[in-house]
Amino acid sequence: MSKHDTEFYTELLRAYFDSANDAIFVLCNELKFLMCNKLMEEWIGHSEFTLTSHNERHPITDLLGDAASIEKFRNSVEQVLAGKPQRLECFINPDSAPQRWLEISMTRVDVEAGDMIIAVARDMTRQREQLAKIHYQSTHDVLTGLPNRVMLQGLLGSCADETDPAAALVVDIPRFRDVNEALGYRTADEILKAVARRIEVTANDYQGTTTGHLTGNRFAVVVSGKTADSIELIADAIHAALSRPMQHAAMELTLGSSIGIAQFPAQVERRSNLLQAAETALHHAKQNMATGIKNFYPELYGAGSERLSLVNDLRSAVDNCRIHVHMQPIVPLQGDGGVRLEALARWKRGGIDVPPDKFIALAELSGHILPVTQLVMEQAIAQSAQLIRDGFVSGIAINLSPHCLMDRIFTERVEALIERCGIPASSLTFEITEGVAMSERMHQYTVQELRSLGVNLSIDDFGTGHSSLCKLRQLPVSELKIDKSFVRDMLVDKGDATIVEASINLAHSLDLKVVAEGIEDDATLACLVQMGCDYAQGFCICPPLPLPDLLKWLKLGSAKSPQTANQ
Ligand code: C2E
Ligand code: CA
Ligand code: CA
């Protein structure tokens, strides 16, 4: 190559380097800059010349915004220098450019001059903000701004030391419906806000308390590390605070309260059962007195033997293949893609439907979830195979429990099934809830195996778990399903509408498709079309149906597709 050629190619490479949509930079093994492209200059507010000229050179760690990012970066570099490419998210806070969240991928190159690190960075600030907003809105009550049930439950589950005592108080404002009816929703909302403040201020006098808002007139206080005596003191103080008259406009109201208490480890075996136990205690408090305080005792559950007989019946239903499936269509909203189906398990016990949420949880606890999933999968694939082959539907989605991902031969079973029924792997989708996808229980091994088989993965109940953006990008998923709790009220609840819209934008910016589930009316459907949602599922399109009814819907119902219905 002539000198002229070399110059030409160097110039060409430089132009290519500078025109990239990602920031690219090269670091020496002391983490100082050796090169960077135009975008990186812009992001850190210094020219490449200053960054690389000898007496100005600073390590990149000087730009990192917080101690956690520095530590994470250093650990990753260690791995990179040991030959293992890394991807990490970190926060930069340069003095002459705006703060940003970057996702940085790093690899080592060995050249004569020594080891170097080539890094490619992507700006994740907007997605981070969207995710933070979704996280905030899905963990806080919109009216009072207090933590909601999801957050309190997370708080109870996340304690480092499993033996630390904890307690939950659930506070109910009796006859609040009367206030609603007499004064109207707007005034009632203002009163609820005042009640929230009163409970919070009272609880804040005690250490280790977090006040939350469960639903309309129900609040909770989670307490960590208290003895039984002081928990009753807190309950007394809240009870007294709510017995004092409350001034609203020209009115004086005295509301009162009923309070249920549950304590760990004295009364419940697990911290995560505390809220439920306190609600059970509250239920008894309300039954036995107009207002008052009631402590939880396990015998209040009274469900031990009933639970046992349910497990026995479930075992026999599984053994005798008496778990069935209904299927619900998931229809495209934006023109591309066909109708898909979601398989939902059904169990009739003594002629009465047991809610799937209940028997699936029971199957998980009692170790029957693998055979239940196998039964659902076999029926769902067998029933939909012909429809898929004939092009009536494009695929079938099946819900997976975390236990399935821990089953070493789960992928083999799936492979055998799709071969037997003659459908392509790409027509199968597994739905994994957001909570599981983000947790330690997410077994990467099975997930990767399933992906290499060619099946699709979808994150179910999105918005109810705590997503990490980095994890979300790393998971080989193709779709998010926005949880129905946000879709249900999105036309009347601004907070829910924001979550839905932000989730759609977030999914699209990560190249994922979005499904909204739980759509019960045409107006919500039309709004989702406007927001750019890709797929829809809900009672207003079609409820879950057994195969014969579904066939009728497919023949008739597909004629009224939501795209045409909402134009
Ligand atoms: P999911 O996966 O979120 O399933 C969607 C649920 O929403 C279904 O409840 C469906 O009937 C319901 N749904 C659909 N459209 C609407 C609507 O417009 N409004 C409302 N309010 N609900 C709607 P279902 O069948 O009761 O199932 C409940 C949950 O039980 C499922 O939630 C899923 O988590 C679990 N489940 C069901 N079948 C299986 C299964 O085979 N395996 C596993 N692991 N879980 C299952
Ligand atoms: Ca699902
Ligand atoms: Ca769902």
**Any idea which ligand is nearest the CA of 518?**
1
* 318, 321, 330, 344, best to mutate for ligand 1 pocket (most atoms within 8 Å of CB): 344
How remote is the C-alpha of 434 from its chain's centroid? Answer: 4
**Which residue of 346, 348, 399, 550 sits with most ligand 1 atoms within 8 Å of its CB, as the best mutation to test the pocket?**
399
Q: What pLDDT, on a 0 to 100 scale, did the predictor assign at position 290?
A: 55
**pLDDT number for residue 566:** 42
CA–CA distance, 437 with 457 (Å, rounded to integer): 10
Mean pLDDT by 10 residues, the chain (567 residues): 80 89 92 93 91 80 86 92 92 90 93 87 93 91 93 82 85 86 88 96 94 94 81 91 85 86 83 85 70 61 58 88 96 89 96 88 78 96 95 95 84 94 96 78 77 94 78 87 93 91 94 96 97 97 96 76 45
Q: What is the pLDDT of residue 50?
A: 87
Any atom of ligand 1 within 6 Å of the Cβ of 376: yes
What is the residue-wise DSSP string for 377-420? HHHHHHHHHHHHHTTS-SEEEEE--HHHHH-TTHHHHHHHHHHH
CATH number of 318-561: 3.20.20.450
Q: First vs last Cα of the chain: how many Å apart?
A: 62
CATH placement of domain 3-127:
3.30.450.20
Q: What is the pLDDT of residues 360-417, one digit of tens each?
A: 877 876 678 899 999 999 999 999 999 999 999 999 999 998 888 878 789 999 999 9
What pLDDT, in 10s, does the model give residues 176-190?
888 888 888 888 999
Ligand 1 pocket, 483 CB below 6 A? no
Check if CATH label 3.30.70.270 holds for domain 141-300: yes
Tell me if 562 sits within 8 A of 536, measured CB to CB.
yes
pLDDT of amino acid 537: 98
**pLDDT at residue 557, rounded to an integer:** 63
Nearest to 121 by CA among 22, 211, 51: 22
3-state SS track over 142-186 = CCCCCECHHHHHHHHHCCCCCCCCEEEEEEECCCHHHHHHHHCHH
Note the pTM of the prediction, 2 decimals.
0.62
In the chain, where are the structural domains located? 3-127, 141-300, 318-561
Domains 3-127 and 318-561 share a fold: no
- Ligand 1, atom 19, residue with closest C-alpha: 518
From the CA of 376, give the closest atom in ligand 1.
Answer: 41
pLDDT of residue 301: 42
At 528 the pLDDT is 98
Nearest to residue 212, comparing CAs of 204, 224, 220, 203? 220
Q: Whose CA is nearest to atom 32 of ligand 1?
A: 357
Q: 331 CB under 6 A from ligand 1?
A: no
Give the closest residue to 392 by CA, choosing from 558, 148, 183, 528.
Answer: 558
Q: How far, in Å, from the CA of 125 to the mean position of ligand 2?
A: 30
Run of H or E including 348? strand 340-349
Tell me if 524 CB under 6 Å of ligand 1: no
In this predicted structure, what is the pLDDT of residue 318?
92
Residues 6+ apart with CB under 8 A from 126: 509
Calculate the alpha carbon distances from 181 to 175, 178, 188, 260 in Å.
10, 5, 9, 26
Q: Is 174 close to ligand 1, i.e. is its CB under 6 Å away?
A: no
Asked if residue 455 lies in contact with residue 414, where contact means CB atoms within 8 angstroms, the answer is yes
- Tens of pLDDT, residues 436-478: 777 655 667 788 889 999 999 999 999 876 677 777 888 889 9
**Helix-strand-coil split of the chain, %, nearest 5:** 50, 25, 30
Predicted pLDDT of residue 267: 78
If you take atom 27 of ligand 1, which residue's CA is the nearest one?
Answer: 356
Going by C-alpha positions, the residue among 149, 139, 189 that lies closest to residue 492 is: 189
Instruction: Provide the 3-class DSSP secondary structure of residue 472.
Output: helix
Looking at residue 567, what is its pLDDT?
A: 37
Please give the distance, rounded to the nearest whole angstrom, from the Cα atom of residue 353 to the centre of ligand 3. Answer: 19
For residue 448, the CA-to-ligand 1 centroid distance in Å is 25
pLDDT at 365: 64
548 phi and psi angles, rounded to 5 deg: -60, -40
Task: Output the pLDDT for position 270.
Answer: 80
Nearest residue by C-alpha to atom 15 in ligand 1: 538
Q: Which numbered ligand comes closest to the C-alpha of 431?
A: 2
**How far away, in angstroms, is 461 Cα from ligand 3 center?**
4
pLDDT score at 565: 42
Closest ligand by atom to 344 CA: 1
Q: Strand 456-462 vs strand 428-433: parallel, antiparallel, or unpaired?
A: parallel
378 Cβ closer than 6 Å to some ligand 1 atom: no
How far away, in angstroms, is 318 Cα from ligand 3 center? 24
Question: Number of H helices and number of E strands within the chain?
Answer: 23, 21
Ligand minimally distant from the alpha carbon of residue 355: 1
Give the per-residue pLDDT at 349.
92
Q: Which helix (H) or strand (E) element contains residue 341?
A: strand 340-349
What's the alpha-carbon Rg for the chain, to the nearest Å? 28
